Amino acid sequence: MPMRHDPRHAISSATHLRTALAAIGLVGLLLSGMAAAQARAAEADDPAAGGALLLEARGAKDGARAALPAVRLGTDIDVTVNGPVMRVRMTQAFRNTSKDWMEATYLYPLPDDGAVDTLKMVVGQRVIVGRIKRRAEARDIYERAKAQGQRSGLVEADRPNLFRTNVANIGPGETVLIAIEYQAPVRQLGGEYAMRLPLVVGPRYVPPSSLATAGGRRDADRITAPLAPEGASLNPVSITINLAPGFVPANIVSPYHRISVVDAGPAARAVTLAAGEEPADRDFELRWRSASADPTLSLFRQALGGQNYVMATITPQTDIRPAAVPAREMIFVIDNSGSMSGSSMEAAKQSLLHALGTLRPQDTFNVIRFDDTLTQLFDRPMHASAEQVALARKFTTGLEASGGTEMLPALQAALVDADPAGKGVRQIIFLTDGDLSNEADMMAEIAAHGGRSRVFTVGIGSAPNNYLMRRMAEAGRGTYTNIGDGDEVLAKMTALLDRLKAPAVHDLVVRVEGTPLVLVPRALPDLYAGEPLVLLGKGDKLDGVLVVSGMIGNRRWSQRIDLGAATDSPAVARLWASRSIADVEAQRWSGQIEEDAADEAIAQLGLAFDLVTTQTSLVAVDETPARAKGARLTSEDLPLMLPKGWNFDALLGKGAPAAADAAGLPEMEQEMDLPQTATGFLGALQRGLAMLALGLLGLIVALRRGSRESRQ
């Protein structure tokens, strides 16, 4: 148990220190990013170009114009929703506005459960089709083509939801099109269907501990990109959706964008952005319902390569939950780091305040807040008396956003269970944007110490890290909810907390009466009212019956599905492969498979199904040389928009508000015991200084290197 201390001292010293350290740490991170960009430019025989790529975050000083990239990007997204799957073609137009030959690099997100399988590069009238290769081989092919002056494109994945496109040898005034295609499942919840298109990568917090190795530094470089100046409008995107869900769609809405909807057939609709195009500063989501009472979207199949694949959706009825809701232990974890500043922090606080209002006296609870330190409101979970809930509400109201996103210590604290053998319900609710780089650490921690806890993630903001949010929930046998803005808090938190009163079905078991199937996911979650279980299977034949059974309270429940009734779909095989890759990663996190074996299994799946994975990439090369030998090639990392609702000042440490350990309320100071991690004070100082030192060292090395090469 942490030692008691004077909360007034904690508030007056730790908060102000964190504010200063946030600025120091982020300056170090930005300097490190600039050094990396300059080093890449030096390698491309342009030692000066890299320094302008990391744009001054608040725009140009003293009224001067901020530098803009020489390569401009526009994106067109065409989506076809067919039954339970969406097929997406994303065309990126790279236009070189300079007089130099250019190489452009662009970091962007895709759905974490998507399967990228196609790359086409269009140069003039020529279309070059990409090929799937092992990652190192694809990179080698791309680098050789770049050096030989050939136009080439490369698509790599550094996370299941984070991709990077490289395009080399774009001539002066030339436009090169890169078209990639992927498919992803449509999501279903309580009778509502939804598709989501991630459009921007929020700046990722990179824990200093992850920079201790060369591999960690390379990984940090791969998942970060320069920021566009505040107020700049870059990377416009247009979206067209052909909605044919297999039934007449109704109540079609997009919560974050204005849309236009027109009929395209009896059971089809065409959806476009009302403005034609929008800046890529927030994710796009489309939701719809069925005009009929009970659409049948439960079983789909595909035959490929002598194998048969099936996708089954099992949704428990909304009236099968137990009548009595048992007492629960609920641990609320709220992120008040700098990336949450602005509307995200307000939405997170509103969400937590709403959740606190649903507690009953027989429930126990605690609140943990974290940035680069953490505070637990109570030493242990307390009964939800009126006084304790009021204390938690004041604590929540006083929170402000600043500092880094050190989520792992908060997760470790939340997983501490005083009664690990208990049979009661223990639920952890995480409220965060999840914008950090060490996702694997989170899943490994849940796999190792999850115990009886269930982890429910609530992704806050316009561009959350959906991969982290969804995988944490899967590892913790919980569910994921996204709250894009404050207007959604009441409806979404009410629906989530209502579902969490009790699992509809737990202790799930799946079996096949007939020809065996290889089914994924292997680790089955609890099912809550209105939330479906999606199973994907592979086998020699599809005959017999799929049986799903579990417990509802103290009684047995089961559902049988005739596999012969499946509807044909061209998307099931690759969705099975994509889900199998996620299962391999889950086995890696839990220690069931070694690192090298996991990498090889993922590579084999990527090669067999033509998918971009962390171990396989798509590469396309125009065999005709374009850039003359000796002509200079300049490299650019294209800047990203800051996600809508994020606050530049708080994120970059410029006039950032102090984060409150407690509520900062004088009348409560003598009563509140607010223990912090013992390493919070010195750890924050050490991390901030380490980041600054690394950034300065990297900048000096890069500048010397660039100067030396320019003299040559």
Position 562 scores a pLDDT of 92
Helix (H) or strand (E) holding 456: strand 453-460
CATH number of 299-320+506-590: 2.60.40
Question: Above 50 in pLDDT, residue 689?
Answer: no
Instruction: Let me know how many helices (H) and strands (E) the chain has, helices first.
Output: 14, 34
**DSSP structure class, residue 505:** B
Average pLDDT over residues 236-244: 97
Of the segments 411-420, 518-527, 541-550, 554-563, which one has the largest average pLDDT value? 411-420
Position 321 scores a pLDDT of 55
CATH number of 71-212+225-293+629-634: 2.60.40
Question: What CA–CA distances, in Å, run from 573 to 188, 307, 539, 580?
Answer: 20, 9, 11, 11
Q: How far is CA 207 from the centre of its chain?
A: 17
Query: 328-499 domain in CATH 3.20.20.100?
Result: no
Amino acid at 562: D
Position 645 scores a pLDDT of 85
> Which pLDDT tens digit goes with each residue over 537-553?
999 999 999 999 998 87
Position 653 scores a pLDDT of 57
Share of the chain above pLDDT 70, in %: 80
Amino acid at 455: V
DSSP symbols for 384-409:
--HHHHHHHHHHHHT----S---HHH
CB 594 within 8 A of CB 110: no
Position 67 scores a pLDDT of 62
Average pLDDT over residues 407-426: 93
Position 320 scores a pLDDT of 55
> Rg of the Cα trace of the chain?
26
Position 326 scores a pLDDT of 82
71-212+225-293+629-634 and 328-499: identical CATH topology: no
The model's confidence at residue 695, banded by pLDDT at 50, 70 and 90, is very low
Position 258 scores a pLDDT of 98
SS (H, E, C) 300-368: EEEEECCEEEEEEEECCCCCCCCCCCCCEEEEEEEECCHHHCCHHHHHHHHHHHHHHCCCCCCCEEEEE
Average pLDDT over residues 128-141: 98
Q: In the beta sheet, which residues pair with residue 259? A: 273
Position 190 scores a pLDDT of 77
Average pLDDT over residues 155-168: 96
Rounded CA separation 202/341 (Å): 13
> Which pLDDT tens digit goes with each residue over 331-379?
999 999 999 988 999 999 999 999 999 999 999 999 999 999 999 999 9
The model's confidence at residue 234, banded by pLDDT at 50, 70 and 90, is confident
> For the chain, which residues make up each domain, given as ranges?
71-212+225-293+629-634, 299-320+506-590, 328-499
Residue 703 burial (CB count, 10 A) = 17
Coil/strand/helix, residue 129: strand
End-to-end CA distance of the chain: 61
> Which pLDDT tens digit goes with each residue over 598-636?
999 999 999 999 999 999 999 999 999 999 999 999 999
- Calculate the CA dihedral of residues 12, 14, 15, 16 and round it to 10 degrees: 80
Q: Report the relative pairing of strands 633-637 and 162-170 from DSSP bridges.
A: unpaired
- pTM of the entire structure? 0.81
> Which pLDDT tens digit goes with each residue over 60-89?
333 333 467 999 999 999 999 998 999 999
> Which pLDDT tens digit goes with each residue over 487-526?
999 999 999 998 888 777 888 999 999 999 999 999 888 8
Question: Above 90 in pLDDT, residue 654?
Answer: no
Give backbone dihedrals phi and psi of 379, rounded to 5 degrees, phi first. Answer: -65, -25
Position 48 scores a pLDDT of 29
Per-residue b or e along 4-38, where b marks 16 or more CB atoms closer than 10 Å to that residue's CB: eeebeebbeebbebbbbbbbbbbbbbbbbbbbbbb
> Which pLDDT tens digit goes with each residue over 167-215?
999 999 999 999 999 999 999 887 899 999 999 999 888 888 777 777 7
Average pLDDT, the chain: 82
